[in-house]
Structure formats: C-alpha cells, structure tokens
Amino acid sequence: MKRREFLKKAAVTTAAAGAVLSGTLLTSCSNNKKEESKQEAPNVITKKTYQWKMVTTWPPHFPVFGESAEFIAKWVEKMSEGRLKIQVYGGGELVPPLQSFDAVSQGQAEMGHACAYYWAGKAPATQFFGAVPFGLNSQQMTSWILAGDGHKLWSELYSNFNLVPFLVGTCGVQMGGWFNKEINSINDVKGLKMRIPGLGGKVIAKAGGTAVLSAGGEIYTNLERGVIDATEWVGPYHDYKMGFYKVAKYYYYPGWHEPGTAIEMFVNKSAYEKLPTDLKEIIKYAAQSSAAWMLSEFEAKNNFYLQKLIKEHNVKLKKFPTDVLKTFKKYTDEVLDEITAKDPMSKKVYENYKAFQKNIVDWDKISEFAYLSFQYS
C-alpha cells in the first residue's frame, strides 16, 4: 500500500517536473526565437519625403521646354521611389514667368526652369550661360559646361543668389527670326523693334534697333498688334507651333545671336543642401538626361517643320546678307568688350569661355567642319 502510494506520488511529481521542464524549454525556445527574430529582422528606416515646386518661364505644357521640366519631375520621382515629388508650374501659374529667378532664390519655390540670359538685369555674367552671339554651338556649349570650367563658374555666380544651376538642354543653331520687313542692309535694322533677349538684344540696339524682352507666351500677340516688328524664338518646330507664320512675312537665318542656346534649371541652394546625397545625384542625372533628350528632339523635328512652313504656308525663307552678319559680329565684339570692362565676373567668365572656344574651334576645323564641308559641297 505504502509502495503504491509512493509510486503514485512519484509519478505525479515526475509529471509536474516534466511539465515545468517542458514549459521552461518551450518558454526558452520561444524567447530564443524572439531573439533570433529580432536579430534577423532588417532595420526598417522611414526615409523623409519632399514635396517641391518648380516654376518656369514657359507657357504651361509648352513643347520641348515645358516638356523638359515635366520629364525631370517624372524622372526624379521614379528614381527616388516617390521620396522627391516636384509639381511643375507654367509661367504665370504660380509666379509671372520673368519672376521665376527671384521666386526660387527667395524660397517661394524650390526649382526653376528657364534660360540664363533672362537674368542679365540681376548679373550681366548670366548671359554667357544662355547664348553668346557668334559663340559656342550646342555641342561646344555642352562641352564647356559639363567638361570644361563652365559649370564651376556658373555655380560661383549663382551662389550669390542662393541658387545651384544645372544644364538641362540646348537648342542647336537657332533661326534668325521672323520679320515684317526685309533686311537687305544694316540700315534696315534702324528703328526696328525686335523681341530679342540677352547679348543679341544689345547688338540690335547698337545697330539702331530696339530690343524688347518678353516671355514666350506674349510674343505672338505683340507681333500681331505691332508692338514689335520682329521676333526671334527658337527654330522651325517651335516657331510652327507658335504660329508666327500667320503674323510675319519673312523667316531669316542663320541664328547668329544664339548658335547654341543653353536651357537651365536652377535650385534653391538652401533646400538643395538639405537633401540626402542620393537625391542630389538623382536631380543631377535627371538634368543630364534632359540635356541629351532636348537637342535630340529639336534635331529630329526642325527640318520636318521647316518644310511644312515653306510648302504649306508659303513662308519666305531668307538668309541675312553677309555684310549684315559681319556688322553684327563687329557690334558683338564691342558689346562684349563693354560688358567685360564694367563687370569683373563677366570678364572672368568670358575669358574662360573664349579660351575654350578657340581651343575647340581649332579641333572642329579638322573634324566637324571638314566633314560637313565635303558632305554638303
């Protein structure tokens, strides 16, 4: 009896001990799994997102230029996986077109999209990063900015305005413009009211004309109403879309005033410096992608639309007389001498620009020019 009681108690005790041990093992195992889970789980870091605004000098959804701004916004959002979203505003939608520079400088918007020569009133040296009459063509301008000292000098200049600049495209050699009277000699420029910005405008003024600066969206109406007698814009593709053939008689070439116009994006420096490194790089490479696309777009479409202007709308295509071009070149040299004599930054930039041009032109004479001379002879 005692033996049975003893065995019974022993069995209960053993069972209890087993249960305790089992529970302990299970608890330990569970805790080990939790520890392992903690160790194996990846560190999930919530990355900050940014909502930015880009203001432009172009009409909303404007072909090529406006598209460039919209493409950049789309590419940046995709590459950043939504961490940086950019809302693009056409000229006048958030700020007037020619107030874009101030809006970004002061932080009203984080980004702008324009052409640097619009800001000559802020700093004369800005014009060298837009277009120089008889200066670098698109290929050369891109080389100076991206592979020469252009971007370094541009950044130095824009840092005074709390801005960081980026090249986002070039236009190729532009057309000379739309005129309501023929230009047979330099005397025909006297009294001419022409929409033409930058250094080219100063050349027209020196020739006795009046240079008018207006945003793209205002040009057609000004030409139609006689506020201006002539206008330059870009080339056949854009000019066709703008409808200038409806309000001007003569279409002149070549674009002596803008042989390789650069289009810019500028970013508020304070906002830019707060971005993580990867987002800064994404902005940089989105800008370079736009630069490659823009010139390709113009080159692909300009001749097609030139033929439409000539064949469908009977546009009179005319070449500037050689003596007119020579006089424009003479006045260009005078304008550049005057600007660089008065403004140290302009002198610094132009000396570098000119040295780069001399070096690259010597190469072009035995490469591009020699090839094209044979090809089109």
> Amino acid letter at 82?
G
Confidence of residue 217 (pLDDT cuts 50, 70, 90): confident
* pLDDT mean over 291-312: 97
Model confidence at 25: pLDDT above 60: no
pLDDT for residue 20: 39
Place of tokens 């050349």: 203
Confidence of residue 26 (pLDDT cuts 50, 70, 90): very low
Alpha-helical regions (H) of 123-226: 138-146, 150-158, 198-206, 216-224
Paired tokens of 254: 């070549």
Confidence of residue 46 (pLDDT cuts 50, 70, 90): low
Place of tokens 């479409």: 301
Confidence of residue 35 (pLDDT cuts 50, 70, 90): very low
Confidence of residue 45 (pLDDT cuts 50, 70, 90): low
Confidence of residue 214 (pLDDT cuts 50, 70, 90): confident
> Between 27 and 196, whose confidence is greater?
196
Whether the bond into 259 is cis, omega within 30 of 0: no
CB 200 within 8 A of CB 213: no
> Amino acid letter at 161?
F
The pLDDT > 70 percentage for the chain reads: 88
Task: State how far the Cα of 352 lies from the Cα of 372, in Å rounded to an integer.
Answer: 27
pLDDT for residue 215: 81
Task: State how far the Cα of 342 lies from the Cα of 13, in Å rounded to an integer.
Answer: 104
Task: State how far the Cα of 359 lies from the Cα of 336, in Å rounded to an integer.
Answer: 19
Model confidence at 70: pLDDT above 50: yes
Paired tokens of 98: 């020619």
pLDDT for residue 216: 81
Model confidence at 61: pLDDT above 70: yes
pLDDT for residue 47: 84
pLDDT digits (tens, 9 = 90+) for 309-360: 999 999 999 999 999 999 999 999 999 999 999 999 999 999 999 999 999 9
Task: State how far the Cα of 337 lies from the Cα of 25, in Å rounded to an integer.
Answer: 90
Model confidence at 44: pLDDT above 50: no
Confidence of residue 34 (pLDDT cuts 50, 70, 90): very low
pLDDT for residue 229: 96
* pLDDT mean over 255-261: 97
Task: State how far the Cα of 239 lies from the Cα of 175, in Å rounded to an integer.
Answer: 9
The pLDDT > 90 percentage for the chain reads: 85
Task: State how far the Cα of 168 lies from the Cα of 174, in Å rounded to an integer.
Answer: 17
